[in-house]
Chains A and B, each alone.
Chain A
Amino acid sequence: MSILKVDSLVTELRIADRHFPVVNDVSFTLEKGETLAIVGESGCGKSMLAMSLLRILPEPLARIGSGRILFDDRDLAEAGVDEMRTIRGKRMSIIFQDPMASLNPVETIGNQIAEMICEHEDISRRDARKKAIELLRMVRLPDAEKRVDEYPHRLSGGMCQRVMIAMALACRPEILIADEPTTALDVTIQAQILALLSNLQSETGAAVILITHNLAIVAQIADRLLVMYAGEIVESGTVASVFGNPRHPYTRQLIDAIPKGTGPIEGEIGRLAEIRGSVPALDQRERGCNFSQRCDCAVARCRTDKPVLKQSSGDHSVACFVAQSEAA
């Protein structure tokens, strides 16, 4: 059962009085309880998409241009400020990459969590504090009773991220958006935080949108993924199907560029497969396929027409003329 349906969403960024689409005609659904990963390089519009869903875009610099975000038959793209306030934090919440920067440095973590609870529930400060301690226990912060009165600078990065997760899950949201939640952490802590997230997810039944550039994390913890390039979805499908048979040249090259953690070690220092060039800037995007400038498979048509996302098999879709003609 789908809980969120995004339909032809366009988010625009204003630069020198011109509007450029940073999220361009994106459609997808989020199923109840699943983990949907959104991957791509910096500048692909992943975070702008997340901010659009929660309506926390830096307006008026960025705005939703068109499209619908259907949550419970309501269109969040049209929702007012007050309505969004009742949804954000309560039914849909977000954790960011840098936990240190996301917490208020001059307030104890307990007060920060309690403030969040009081905003959405009719509850006394005292009970809110009790609930904060409970939440800190739930995210396995050691000595939760004592640490509830600590300031963020007294905690490590991993502990701060646990506090952020506690806060995000305080009101048992139906959707949790995790924007690069472990990028700033060591691998050992990363594994713990990801394990914690998936355990809490199965306890609360929340759906998770995981935004990351780390495909290895996606392979191990997500159910489905969307590959974004220059603001558009170029491939989507289940993790098994996309990693097993990547159809879009961009997805293939992204996977090939990752240094492999297993397999034989050759005698020579090996070269990695690289993707030449970089994501085109907003004002340099063309009529055709945005990836055509960097693509080894591009044909003439790729530079003039834009490929649309088409289902190739089951849940697997791809937006590439070459891949689509191979399938046909």
Chain B
Amino acid sequence: MSQLRIKGIKKFYKKREVLQGIDLQVSSGKCIGILGANGSGKSTLLAILAGVLKADEGEFLWQDKDMLKDSPLAEKIIGYVPQGTPLLEELSAWDNLLLWYDKNRLKKELEDGVLAMLGINEFLKVPVCKMSGGMKKRLAIGCSVAGNPSVLLMDEPSAALDLQCKERIVTYIKDFKAHGGIVLLATHDAQEIEICDEWYILKEGVLHPYEFDGNIHYLVGKL
């Protein structure tokens, strides 16, 4: 049985129906790639699932409980990595992490947990305003997974990052999956597309299943 189900999510912007009833079922340990052209509604879908935007219709079920109506459950289950850098620029990585972790857990995660895997130790005392794009993105992911979420919603996590940094993020996603986590990944990146287990193209508000065979040129034509 699928742990996570999206049922009939609809979203209107004025009279325009941006999402026309999105349905999806995902089992544990899977990464779902949501592909689509710019403006197709990928970020809107993830923002709705994260609880930032309100859906006009539909449900987002975790073990048959609707997380769109149960905010405390959603806070516990979902980790959300939006586009941009959700960080406080003046503060160091350590101070930013303290917003999400208590001190003891933070130390432990930095030693041998998820934060160690993301390599955050390397720039722990550096203020965010002096970090590279890759450092910022890794730190943002580190912040998002503070509550040990079971579902990770990632909106183009490795956009504009160098190969080394992309590799680190991809490794983290693989590890997250291996521990039974579910990832919904909105992406344009070939490397990220390859780690997904299922692919969907969001076009004109409808989610179409897609069999990715490694041919990026063919995929581009489909978007």
* Chain A bound to chain B: no
Residues in A lying within 8 Å of B, measured CB to CB = none
Residues in B lying within 8 Å of A, measured CB to CB = none
